[in-house]
Structure 1
Amino acid sequence: MAGVFSSNAGIPATVIHAGVHSGGSALAFNPDETLLASGGWAGRLHLWSLPRGTRRASWQAHAGSINGLAFLRDGAMLVSAGYDGRILVWDLQAGSHRAWHTESPVTSLAVDAARGLLASGHDDGRVTLWRIRDGRSLEREGQRRLHSRRVRGLAWHPVRLELATSGSDGRVMLWRLPGDVVELPPPSTYSRSLAYSRDGRALFGSGWFRLFRWELEGRTLRELPTAHRGIINSIGFGGEDRYLASISRQTDSAVYFLDPETGAVIKRFQRHELCGGFVAVSPYGRYLATTSDDASVRIWDLRQAPQSAGGRGD
């Protein structure tokens, strides 16, 4: 329901939808910030209209957890990827979809809409590349086993044809298409999520308590302490790279904007009642959305959000 707020400290959400997923696992905004897609453990997919956050549509998309969502270039099509090993391309106007089957459960997803490329990470450590044809169909282009265990994070470089991957094996790889693979210095704990800076000079990851920052020119790694008290499950850039949105789980459910230079808290948001699942910032930075094991989807309209709840110095 809308307008229900927790007593937890931090900027309250503009809209809270309670009980919409058995546990939330994926989020994506469309290019013009008018829709939010959310997915959860039970494979249910919801579309929320912005700015009010009303539900536009709901479909049973997958037989297992939805582990990736992404809008394609014009926003009329949505990709969902699930632990059932299927990748679906949805026509949002018709409410219909086409399905592509993979050999292993899908654990992560990344789309480079401008180049028409999609990458799926899998439970067996493989990464599959797909070409998006006519904005609505997929054609497999290649596959490599880059990790010995589950693929956790995927991110496309903003400038060059390069895909960053992280796995439960603790390795972080750069796949410079079509061929070369470079391994970055390993972080102290495996990286759950990945994000490139807009200029492509740095790659960021997230682990227990810390952000990981790789300077790509020298392939050096810095680990930045944060106020999180658990594993940082998801990160995403916003504000023209002025901050990294983050959410954590295990012993923590905090939602922050973090300084990408230092890891310090710039802004605190309302915590979830249970472990954090996913965080997303809309393309032009108007909205923040989160979901969690508490089954809620929360949306902040940052134009309306109070400007308090800062936190530098943590």
Structure 2
Amino acid sequence: MSASGEQCFSGGVDGTIQSWNTPSPSIDPYDSYEPSVLRGALSGHTDSVWGVVYSAAHHRLLSCSADGTVRLWNAANTALTPPSPSELGAPTSVDLVSSDPAYMVASFSSGHMALFNMETQQLVLKLESAGAPDAPCKINKVLSHPALPVSITAQEDRHIRFFDNNTGKLIHSMVAHLDSVTCLAVDPNGLYLMSGSHDCSIRLWNMESRTCIQEFTAHRKKFEESIHDVAFHPTKCYIGSAGADALAKVFV
């Protein structure tokens, strides 16, 4: 979603990123389809797009794909190809590093995670991996803290982990759910962390104490999957979730 809320972006299994004009809140949901809602497509990836992140400060779009590339859009329109693909694998999640706008953080199918300089397209720092050195644990989501030089991961082994962006070291690790942790979101002030899991629950965490302060069941399981994504509203006390049960929910 753009900073103004007037545009949003989505990535698909067809390898394209679609740009949309956000419809007016007053529109009748049963009105006929308005073609102007679709602004156009960004083409370049050759396989499914796993993640899309928008930078309001630089009006840039960052995407990662199963084709093994991370791409930066609306700037130089170039592809950031990770070094040593055989070691890092295909990117699974990306985020912009809030504490340093020139950097991005990416996780890979191999279980590794790294910081890259978006301007030079160079690997800056490889962060520690969880699990055995020869078989790191899969990372489903990587997130940058909005104020601190910290990266947070949601992982297949039910853990949430915190890493120092300056040293690459693991700061804290905790068993967060009863099943794979699939998604994360941090509130705009950086005080609370929200996580979703295939155990059907959403949990809210105090960022300072890293303790769970609220838990509720949000979605039903379908094909052994449940919650795919969670989000905080940027200004209001709303949270949203999307699940494998084909529902999108908003909670107050």
TM-score (norm 1): 0.64
Give the aligned partner of residue 133 of structure 2.
none
Indicate the RMSD between aligned Cα atoms, in angstroms.
Answer: 2.3
Partner of 1:34: 6
Instruction: Quote how far apart the aligned CAs of 1:110 are.
Output: 1.2
Q: 1:183 corresponds to which residue? A: 173
Matched, 1:57 2:29: no
Equivalent residue, structure 1, for 2:184: 194
Please list every run of 5 or more consecutive structure 2 residues that lacks an aligned counterpart in the other structure.
25-35, 131-135
1:111 to 2:96 alignment = yes
User: Once the 2 structures are TM-superposed, how far is the Cα of residue 139 of structure 1 from its aligned partner?
Assistant: 3.1
User: Shift of the alpha carbon at 1:60?
Assistant: 2.8
On the 8 A contact 2:184/2:195 being kept in 1, the answer is yes
1:48 paired residue number: 20
* Aligned twin of 2:227: 232
Instruction: Tell me if structure 2 keeps the 8 A contact 1:112–1:118.
Output: yes
> What is residue 219 of structure 1 aligned with on the other side?
210
Alpha-carbon distance between aligned partners in 1 of 2:158 and 2:114, rounded to the nearest angstrom: 19
Separation (CA, whole Å) in 2 of partners of 1:227 and 1:143: 35
Give the letter for the 1:109 counterpart: V
* Matched positions, count: 223
Counterpart of 1:262 in structure 2 is none
- Aligned partner of 1:80 in structure 2 is 63
Does residue 201 of structure 2 align to residue 210 of structure 1? yes
Match of 2:147 in 1: 159
Per the alignment, in what secondary structure is the counterpart of residue 176 of structure 2? coil
1:89 aligned residue (61, 68, 72): 72
Residue in 2 that maps onto 1:284: none
1:97-176 mapped onto 2 (5 Å cutoff): 97-102=77-82, 103=85, 104-112=89-97, 115-116=100-101, 117-133=103-119, 138-147=121-130, 148-176=136-164
Deviation at 1:42, TM superposition (A): 1.8
How far off its partner does 1:202 sit?
2.5
Answer yes or no: is the 8 Å Cα contact 2:99–2:147 preserved in 1: no
Give the distance between the partners of 2:100 and 2:20, measured in 1 at CA: 27
Identical-pair percentage: 18
The answer on whether the counterparts of 2:193 and 2:207 sit within 8 Å (CA) in structure 1 is yes
- State whether residues 89 and 99 of structure 1, in contact with CA within 8 Å, keep that contact through their aligned partners in structure 2: yes
Q: Is the 8 A contact 2:62 2:72 kept in 1?
A: yes
Quick one: structure 1 residues 76 and 195, their matched pair in 2 at CA, closer, same or farther if it must change by over 3 Å? closer
Task: Write the distance in 2 (CA, Å) between the matches of 1:157 and 1:172.
Answer: 13
Decide whether the 8 Å contact of 2:98 with 2:144 is kept in 1. no
Deviation at 1:105, TM superposition (A): 0.9
CA contact (8 A) 1:36 1:50 kept: yes
- Alpha-carbon distance between aligned partners in 1 of 2:230 and 2:242, rounded to the nearest angstrom: 7
Letter in 1 for 2:47: G
Q: Measured at CA, do residues 33 and 112 of structure 1 come closer, stay the same or move farther in structure 2, by a change above 3 Å? A: farther
Q: What TM-score do you get using the length of structure 2 for normalisation?
A: 0.79
Whether 2:250 is the aligned partner of 1:257: answer yes
Unaligned runs of 5+ in 1: 1-28, 259-265, 267-314
Contact 1:149–1:168, Cα closer than 8 Å, also in 2: yes
The more displaced of 173-182 and 120-129 is 173-182
Read off the aligned partner of 2:201 and give its amino acid letter: R
The one-character-per-residue Cα deviations of 1:92-129 (angstroms, maximum 9, x if unpaired) are 7xxx7211212211111111356212111111111111
CA distance in 1, matches of 2:152, 2:178: 18
Which deviates further from its counterpart, 211-220 or 102-111? 211-220
Deviation at 1:198, TM superposition (A): 2.9
